[in-house]
């Protein structure tokens, strides 16, 4: 097995009980998703050693940070982690450059290949270096907080809802930077969020937390397509597919995206041929047909097979899990259509996709 | 004008105040930090003890100190055991008494300042590999510098202004324990009002300047 992260602990507060036992991939972004009060932040704080818990076992790619049974406990400052807090946490008595240097000069981890100029470039903070923390916008502060965490050469990056204190415009500003880090870094990241948008856009692996319990943990695409989860997570049901841009059609202003399950056309993207694009398809935007429709205005039709059917909160609808040559898809259709079309597992039919949400 | 004795008293006062202030900061800083951070049930008791000099008549405090510093008292036995001799009516005894008397004026502003910065900067520093001691010097002290300035100025000024405790513990020994406030008292006792006026004016101006300075550096009290 490749490098791995193993997290196990229990928390028994009057207001919160948590029981977590997770095996996570040792690279990429793992999103911890859940509603407020589900214990996401507590989870990060226990991993960082900022919060006490019971029966803790933390193994970060082979490095034991805490093992209560063996009596091992590294205090926070001896754990090679980077923590980006929810609100701006820059030291107000230091300049931006001094803030960045704070963790950098205290880092003991010389094996990591984090280069100052590289980080400055990735996060585009050269123009801010001489400024003081008070004179920065919320988005700029968070970028510096991220750079500061990176420069301490962590073996694990923890993000505690880093965008939740920002407005929509600032969020949109920061997300591309996070994607850039994801592309360039091999440091595993745990990303706490209650925004399905952020999770769908950034994560490789998804952990769903509900009232202190892990209710699902798996590859993002697979986990999003699960229809057996509590309805709280199905409200906004939809899948994420990773595609490659293969062709631009200038006449109709379209771009062609290929993936294992077929082809999708979207409005022309300002990207080079060969770019990787992630898109999100909501279950409510997928309708089903027994025949291929040749005279429809809907552009995207995929050949799929029915895998399973599940109830939703709304009795008038059902959720259908589909398989497009190995790629999971979800469709939300009315109960009446379900009966009328006799949709059962194994049935082969056509999925029409009314809308595709693209990130970027 | 000031005579030679007055000058001696002034210099002695400054010496006592400077040494006492250094001792106050060295003692008061860890004390204030502990009082802010601890969850111990002794916290309330220690807090109350530190605040006692605020309400206790100085003569009462001085009286108890005199007893404790006597060769049979706890402090007295300790100082004798350490080879320092007995403390009452000495410069050393004056320092000990001054520190205890001015402690709340140093501990309380520091406590307020430490509490005001909250938990977050400490957590951030820890996630950036700073040990607790490192965090104290690199983050806590710079963020609470106003609190330190307030504590220093108040501690110094309050030591300069003490009278009752000095009279009880230090007595009235020239160049040893006769500080300005005692010297003024002596002048008044001897009906030397002109001399008393000069020294009193010195202290009045000093106090005014100190307070002016304090409000200047510290527009927001408590930080």
Which residues, in sequence order, are CB contacts of A218 under 8 Å at separation 6+? A205, A206, A226
CA distance A144 to A99: 8
Q: Which of B121, B130, B142 faces A77 most closely, judged by CB atoms?
A: B130
- CB-hemisphere CA count at 13 Å for B148? 14
CA distance A347 to A289: 11
CA distance A191 to A288: 35
Asked if pLDDT for residue A338 goes beyond 50, the answer is yes
CA distance B63 to B85: 19
> Tell me: the pLDDT tens digits for A280-308?
999 999 999 999 888 889 999 999 999 99
Asked if pLDDT for residue A149 goes beyond 50, the answer is yes
What's the mean pLDDT when you consider all of chain B? 90
CA distance A323 to A305: 5
Section A310-317 average pLDDT = 87
Chain B residues with CB inside 8 Å of A93's CB?
139, 142-143
Q: Which of A75, A93, A152 faces B128 most closely, judged by CB atoms?
A: A152
% of chain B at pLDDT higher than 70:
97
Among the listed residues B42, B38, B64, the one whose alpha carbon sits nearest the alpha carbon of residue B53: B64
% of chain A at pLDDT higher than 90:
67
Q: What are phi and psi of B92, to 5 degrees?
A: -60, -45
pLDDT at B84: 80
Q: Let me know: does A159 contact A142? Beta carbons within 8 Å.
A: no
ipTM (interface pTM):
0.86
Among the listed residues A318, A317, A288, A282, the one whose alpha carbon sits nearest the alpha carbon of residue A304: A288
- Using pLDDT thresholds of 50, 70 and 90, give the confidence band for residue B177: confident
Section A139-152 average pLDDT = 93
Chain B residues with CB inside 8 Å of A91's CB?
121, 124, 139, 143
Higher local confidence (pLDDT), B74 or B218 = B74
Question: Best interface-test mutation with B: which of A42, A77, A149 has the largest number of B CBs within 10 A?
Answer: A77
Q: Let me know: does A309 contact A345? Beta carbons within 8 Å.
A: yes
CA distance A21 to A10: 9
Identify the burial level of A318 via C-beta atoms within 10 angstroms of its C-beta, where 0-12 means exposed, 13-18 middle and 19 or more buried. buried
Chain B residues with CB inside 8 Å of A85's CB?
120, 123-124
Shortest CA gap B14–chain A (Å): 33
pLDDT at A1: 46
Domain ranges of chain B: 4-217
- Using pLDDT thresholds of 50, 70 and 90, give the confidence band for residue B218: low
> Tell me: the pLDDT tens digits for A212-245?
899 999 999 989 888 888 655 556 788 999 999 9
CA distance A79 to A47: 9
Chain A residues with CB inside 8 Å of B120's CB?
85, 89
Asked if pLDDT for residue B219 goes beyond 60, the answer is no
Residue indicated by tokens 């592309």: A183
C-beta atoms of A76 and B138 within 8 A:
no
Interface of B with A (CB under 8 A): 120-121, 123-132, 134-135, 138-139, 142-143
Question: Computed over its alpha carbons, how large is the radius of gyration of chain A?
Answer: 22
Copy the structure tokens of residue B52. 């006692």
Q: What are phi and psi of B220, to 5 degrees?
A: -105, 105
Go through the domains of chain A in sequence order and give each one's CATH number. Answer: 4-224 (3.40.50.300), 238-359 (2.40.50.100)
CA distance B56 to A296: 92
In chain B, the residue whose alpha carbon lies closest to the alpha carbon of A148 is: B128
- Using pLDDT thresholds of 50, 70 and 90, give the confidence band for residue B71: confident
Which residues, in sequence order, are CB contacts of B171 under 8 Å at separation 6+? B88, B89, B177
Lowest mean pLDDT among A157-161, B17-21, B85-89, B96-100: B85-89
In chain A, the residue whose alpha carbon lies closest to the alpha carbon of B123 is: A50
CA distance A48 to A60: 11
In chain A, the residue whose alpha carbon lies closest to the alpha carbon of B129 is: A77
Asked if pLDDT for residue A248 goes beyond 90, the answer is yes
> Tell me: the pLDDT tens digits for B108-157?
999 999 999 999 999 999 999 999 999 999 999 999 999 999 999 999 99
> Tell me: the pLDDT tens digits for A77-99?
999 999 999 987 999 999 999 99
C-beta atoms of B132 and A152 within 8 A:
no
C-beta atoms of A83 and B127 within 8 A:
yes
Q: Let me know: does A333 contact A287? Beta carbons within 8 Å.
A: yes
Give the Å distances, CA to CA, from A344 to A255, A315, A349, B90.
34, 18, 11, 99
- Using pLDDT thresholds of 50, 70 and 90, give the confidence band for residue B162: confident
Higher local confidence (pLDDT), B75 or A45 = A45
Chain A residues with CB inside 8 Å of B126's CB?
49-50, 75-77
Fold of B4-217: MetI-like fold (1.10.3720)
Find residue A38's DSSP bridge partners: none
Helical (H) or strand (E) element with B202: helix B193-217
pTM assigned to the model = 0.86
Asked if pLDDT for residue B223 goes beyond 50, the answer is no
pLDDT at A110: 65
In chain B, the residue whose alpha carbon lies closest to the alpha carbon of A78 is: B129
């Amino acid at each position: 097995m490749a490098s791995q992260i193993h997290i196990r602990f229990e928390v028994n507060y009057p207001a919160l009980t948590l029981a977590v036992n997770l095996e996570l991939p040792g690279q990429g972004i793992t999103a911890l998703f859940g509603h407020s009060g589900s214990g996401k932040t507590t989870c990060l704080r226990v991993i960082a050693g900022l919060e006490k818990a019971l029966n803790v076992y933390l193994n970060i790619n082979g490095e034991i940070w805490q093992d209560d049974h063996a009596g091992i406990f590294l205090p926070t400052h001896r754990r090679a982690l980077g923590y980006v807090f929810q609100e701006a946490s820059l030291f107000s008595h230091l300049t931006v450059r001094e803030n960045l240097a704070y963790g950098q000069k205290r880092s003991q981890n010389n094996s990591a290949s984090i280069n100052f100029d590289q980080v400055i470039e990735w996060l585009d903070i050269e123009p801010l270096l001489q400024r003081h923390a008070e004179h920065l916008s919320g988005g700029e502060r968070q970028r510096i907080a991220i750079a500061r965490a990176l420069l301490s050469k962590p073996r694990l990056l923890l993000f505690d809802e880093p965008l939740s204190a920002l407005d929509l415009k600032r969020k949109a500003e920061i997300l591309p930077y996070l994607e850039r880090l994801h592309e360039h870094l091999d440091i595993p990241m745990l990303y706490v969020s209650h925004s399905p948008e952020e999770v769908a856009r950034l994560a490789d692996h998804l952990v769903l937390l509900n009232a202190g319990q892990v209710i699902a943990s798996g590859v993002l695409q697979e986990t999003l397509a699960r229809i057996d989860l509590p309805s709280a997570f199905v409200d906004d049901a939809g899948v994420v597919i990773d595609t490659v841009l293969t062709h631009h059609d200038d006449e109709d202003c379209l771009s062609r995206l290929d993936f294992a399950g077929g082809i999708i056309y979207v409005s022309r993207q300002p990207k080079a041929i060969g770019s990787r694009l992630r898109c999100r398809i909501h279950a409510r935007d997928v309708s089903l047909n027994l025949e291929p429709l040749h005279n429809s205005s809907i552009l995207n039709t995929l050949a799929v097979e029915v895998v399973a059917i599940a109830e939703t909160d709304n009795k008038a609808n059902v959720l259908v899990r589909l398989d497009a040559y190995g790629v999971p898809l979800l469709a939300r259709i009315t109960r009446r259509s379900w009966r009328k079309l006799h949709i059962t597992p194994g049935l082969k039919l056509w999925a029409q996709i009314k809308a595709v949400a693209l990130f970027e | 004008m000031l005579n030679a004795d007055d000058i001696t008293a002034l210099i002695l006062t400054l010496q006592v105040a400077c040494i006492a202030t250094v001792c106050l900061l060295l003692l008061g800083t860890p004390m204030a930090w502990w009082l802010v951070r601890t969850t111990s049930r002794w916290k309330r008791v220690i807090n109350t003890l530190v605040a006692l000099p605020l309400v206790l008549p100085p003569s009462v405090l001085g009286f108890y100190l005199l007893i404790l510093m006597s060769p049979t008292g706890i402090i007295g036995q300790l100082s004798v055991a350490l080879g320092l001799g007995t403390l009452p009516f000495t410069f050393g005894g004056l320092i000990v008494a001054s520190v205890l008397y001015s402690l709340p004026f140093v501990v309380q502003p520091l406590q307020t300042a430490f509490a005001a910065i909250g938990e977050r900067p400490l957590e951030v520093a820890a996630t950036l590999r700073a040990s607790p001691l490192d965090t104290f010097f690199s983050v806590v002290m710079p963020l609470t510098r106003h609190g330190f300035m307030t504590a220093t100025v108040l501690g110094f000024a309050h030591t300069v202004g003490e009278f009752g405790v000095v009279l009880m513990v230090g007595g009235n020994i020239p160049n040893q324990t006769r500080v300005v406030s005692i010297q003024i008292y002596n002048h008044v006792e001897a009906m030397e009002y002109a001399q008393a006026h000069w020294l009193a004016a010195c202290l009045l101006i000093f106090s005014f300047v100190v307070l002016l300075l304090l409000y200047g550096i510290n527009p927001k009290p408590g930080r």
